[in-house]
Amino acid sequence: GPMMMPGYYKRPDLTKKTIVDGWLHSGDLGFIDEDGFLFLVDRVKDMIISGGVNVYPKDIEEVIIQHPAVSEVAIFGIPDEKWGEIPIAAVIFHKEQNVVEEDLKTWINQRVDAKFQRVADVQVLEDFPRNIAGKTLKREMREIYVNN
């Protein structure tokens, strides 16, 4: 429409991927409920496909952040021969909090809604890689995890 951006500044490559036939493809996943309210669920690029099932990291993150020791959490997928991808949890603990990774993994996997949401590993970090706006860079986290 008339209020939509014409494209990315000096980035025709990004514009071509994002604006298709006059429609802006934001990369957000969401739904509209019966009352017409829009709910954003997650980002397409963050979605994990495990055993043919779409796994939304936000669903798992909402469980993990309830743990009293966890200050921040990020879920990302890594390649897996059997399942395609499997979820990994990266966490930052509150100051002076410490939990054994295996105990936290058990705690998480007992609380998620489905088997495909179970995390394969928990990685404890001091901080997450972030962009200039402070947004967590899950792609970088995945690369670091896979290469270590």
Count of domains observed in the chain: 2
Matching residue, tokens 């990266």: 90
Q: Which domain holds residue 55?
A: 48-147
User: Is there a single domain that holds both residue 57 and residue 2?
Assistant: no
User: Is there a single domain that holds both residue 101 and residue 35?
Assistant: no
Q: Are 48 and 77 in contact (CB under 8 A)?
A: yes
Position 107 scores a pLDDT of: 98
User: Is there a single domain that holds both residue 65 and residue 2?
Assistant: no
User: Is there a single domain that holds both residue 68 and residue 134?
Assistant: yes
Between 5 and 57, where is the model more confident? 57
Position 25 scores a pLDDT of: 75
Give 36-69 pLDDT, tens digit per residue: 888 776 666 778 999 999 999 999 999 999 999 9
Position 128 scores a pLDDT of: 96
- Mean pLDDT, to the nearest integer, of 21-33? 76
User: Is there a single domain that holds both residue 37 and residue 95?
Assistant: no
135's tokens: 């947004």
- The whole-angstrom separation of Cα 42 and Cα 20 is 21
- The whole-angstrom separation of Cα 72 and Cα 64 is 9
Provide the 3-class DSSP secondary structure of residue 16: helix
Give 124-133 pLDDT, tens digit per residue: 999 999 999 9
Give 109-120 pLDDT, tens digit per residue: 999 999 999 999
Element (H, E) at 18: helix 12-18
User: Is there a single domain that holds both residue 22 and residue 71?
Assistant: no
- The whole-angstrom separation of Cα 57 and Cα 49 is 10
User: Is there a single domain that holds both residue 38 and residue 93?
Assistant: no
